Structure 1
């Protein structure tokens, strides 16, 4: 745990961590706003809303990770490969959508099963995304913290779905969103505490010239457009119901 706290305190740009936190909270709230419509729908309509929930969740989970990675400073210059970065986004969206479709079936066990899949979405996205990280060295992992990061992500995501289906209205949305945000953050920073960069002069590396704060703000801005679109769809749907 000390390693995780030390990583957060000394190896991150606080401003970009704050931006990642805003993206994370916005994602969690929008996700469960959208999911609340899915759970009151049936048939193809429920499937469509569950997919939209997955798009919101997956995009936001990925953006939180990417902005937080841009905030990371392990003492070495870094860059990111495009293909694993995009693959991690697609994985996050696909698994999150599958998780919310399972959870939306209701009952006692389906929400828990959906929570497991959503936890897997968070973890798989993160570790695939980590393969995009390039530095003048090699990555070394603390196995115990890697295992802990998976446990945190899956367990807390399950709690988010469990709480949502136990409560009603705004209380369900806010409570579940808090757990989802915690799942994303606990998984990410525990896994970042698990990694160390060992210098290796034989690694072929060329530092990126991209403006990291600007890239982080652009990523957050695009994500907010996606989240705002989903939230607008929810507002329109509820207005039509009334």
Structure 2
């Protein structure tokens, strides 16, 4: 028989918290990518791009995981396979890294952006459905193919827009606005994907766990990504570009050739 599903066991707490985390990951990723493009080369550029990719991957995965906390089948909270849950986090970071590094080193040309956005979007969708595969229940999970495809399209469009924003939007307030839109896009993709799900359980019997057990599992799974996001936030906040401000940062350095200083001023990465 078909089970009754709900995404909002805790009301608006989980979707709001999930959206906030998606926005946090997005804004950190945008600032890190912007910083990587500003007079940064070699290992420093690589480091900023890696930090941005990790922030975005952790933000997207954390959004998904927090949203899933409110998912119930026949009123029961779900159990999750820890191994698959961690694997979905690694997949999120890996695929986002591909997209971020592509646009970080090759720019936002149509071909590069299309490839990077498609790879990243498909990876985000794979992360979502891999996370769904971590569900432990005594029933069969089925998906509406049309809705699944729609969620994948949303993921690709959202990823492409995010990567474009990473190399095209530089002002702080514009970055904040872009992160709000990106967080909304990620959330829409998640709940679209969840609307494709149906569960069929014999005699209505499904697995489940208590709120206390789920809380313990949640804290264990979220600890690593949240620490990484905190570290990224501290690094971004204490970077000279932010601390010194635009005027000081834009002053030509004594060691720069006049033509180099003019070149930097011509491209307002911030």
> Does TM, scored on the shorter chain, surpass 0.5?
yes
Computed over aligned residues only, the root mean square deviation of the Cα atoms, in angstroms, reads 2.7
Change (3 A) 1:25 1:216: farther
Change (3 A) 1:119 1:178: farther
Within 5 Å, give how 1:159-238 maps onto structure 2. Answer: 159-200=161-202, 207-209=208-210, 211=212, 212-213=214-215, 215-216=217-218, 222-237=224-239, 238=241
Matched, 1:157 2:172: no
Q: Which residue number corresponds to residue 90 of structure 1?
A: 90
Q: Give the gaps of 5 or more residues in structure 2.
A: 250-270
Larger Rg computed on CA atoms: 2
CA displacement at 1:122 relative to structure 2 = 1.6
CA contact (8 A) 1:157 1:179 kept: no
Q: Quote the Cα distance in structure 2 between the aligned partners of 1:179 and 1:119.
A: 16
| Alignment TM-score, normalising by the size of structure 2 | 0.76
CA contact (8 A) 1:67 1:219 kept: no
CA displacement at 1:194 relative to structure 2 = 0.1
CA displacement at 1:177 relative to structure 2 = 1.6
Change (3 A) 1:39 1:47: same
Q: Quote the Cα distance in structure 2 between the aligned partners of 1:217 and 1:124.
A: 23
Q: Which residue number corresponds to residue 70 of structure 1?
A: 69
Aligned residues: 235
Which has the larger displacement, 16-25 or 139-148?
16-25
Change (3 A) 1:178 1:15: closer
CA contact (8 A) 2:99 2:163 kept: no
